Amino acid sequence: MHCLVPLKGKNKPLHTADGSMSLYSMEYHEGYRAKSVGAYTESLHKFYHASCIGELLKKQDVRLLDICLGGGSNLSVTLDKIADIDTPYKLHIVTVERQASLFETIMDTPYLWPLRGYNILRELIVNANHKNVRLDIAIGDAREILSKLMWSFDVIYFDPFGKRKNPEMWTVEVFRQLHRLCSDKAKVVTYSSGKVIRQDFVAAGFKFTSTPKPEGAFQEGTVFSKE
Ligand SMILES: C[S@@+](CC[C@H](N)C(=O)[O-])C[C@H]1O[C@@H](n2cnc3c(N)ncnc32)[C@H](O)[C@@H]1O
C-alpha cells in the first residue's frame, strides 16, 4: 500500500489516545510519547504538573534541563502553559538531543499539538529567545553533554526511550550526573515508575515520590529530589 503522506526521515505520525499527535520512531520502534496515554496528557501530568515548574516560575528564575527533546511535546506543553502565567521571572531551557533532524521535523510538522506551544518552540529554535524564555540547544550524546555541563538546574525532564530500547541512558552513572546538576530543591521528573530505575536513582543519591495523576488514569511516573 502506498503512503499518502510522504515520510521524511526516521519518524512517522502517531495518533495518540487523547487525540493529540506525536511521532513514532522507526529507528527505536517506539512512540516518542505513550500512544495509550496521549501525548498532550502525558506531558502535562508527568512532566509539567509533576515538576511544579509553573508554580516555581511565579517565584523565581527557573533553569530547566530537557533530556531529551524528541518530538518536543514536553517543551511545547510547558511553553503553552507558562504563556498564561504573568511573571517577572525568566525561564532558561537547555535541551539535549542526539538526533539533529528532529529540530527540522518540529519546524516542518504543523499538526503537533498544542499549536501555540509548538509555535513558541519553533520561534525559540530559530531565535533562541521569546519573551521571558531562552532556549539553548545541545546536539549529541546526552551522557557526554551532561558530564560537561556546569550549570545547576531547578527542574530536569528526564525522557529517553524505555530502558529496553535505550539502556545507556538509564544507568546509575547518568543519574549521578543528574544529581550533580540539580540545585538543592530541584525536581527530576520522568514517566517511568520502574522499580529498578527508582532503586538506581536512590543509589545515585535521590529520594522519590510518585507522580500525582488523575483518578483511574495511566501508570504513575516518578519525581526525584535531593531532599
Ligand atoms: C521518548 S523520546 C523523547 C520525547 C520528548 N521528550 C517529547 O516530549 O516528545 C526519547 C528521545 O531520546 C533521544 N535519545 C536517546 N538516547 C539519547 C542519547 N544517548 N543522547 C541524547 N538523546 C538521546 C532520542 O533520539 C529521542 O528523541
pLDDT digits 0-9 by tens, 49-60: 999 999 999 999
Dihedral over alpha carbons 64, 66, 71, 75 (to 10 degrees): -10
Percent of the chain exceeding pLDDT 90 equals 84
Please choose from 161, 173, 174 the residue to mutate so as to test ligand 1's pocket, defined by most ligand atoms within 8 A of CB.
161
Residue among 151, 158, 218 nearest 187 (CA): 158
Contacts of 117 (CB under 8 A, 6+ apart): 75, 76, 77, 78, 79, 80, 81, 83
CA distance 210 to 208: 7
Please choose from 30, 68, 101, 104 the residue to mutate so as to test ligand 1's pocket, defined by most ligand atoms within 8 A of CB.
68
pLDDT confidence of residue 218: 76
Residue 161 pLDDT > 80: yes
Query: Strands (DSSP E) along the chain, which ranges?
Result: 11-15, 21-25, 30-31, 62-67, 91-97, 129-130, 133-139, 153-158, 182-190, 207-210, 222-225
SS3 185: strand
Residue among 207, 158, 152, 208 nearest 184 (CA): 152
Which residue's CA is minimally distant from atom 4 of ligand 1? 70
Which residue's CA is minimally distant from atom 15 of ligand 1? 160
Chain Cα centroid distance, residue 44: 10
CATH no. for 41-225? 3.40.50.150
**85-131 pLDDT tens trace:** 999 999 999 999 999 999 999 999 998 999 999 999 999 999 999 99
Residue 216 pLDDT > 70: no
Residue among 72, 183, 185, 79 nearest 132 (CA): 79
Return the ligand 1 atom nearest residue 75 CA.
8
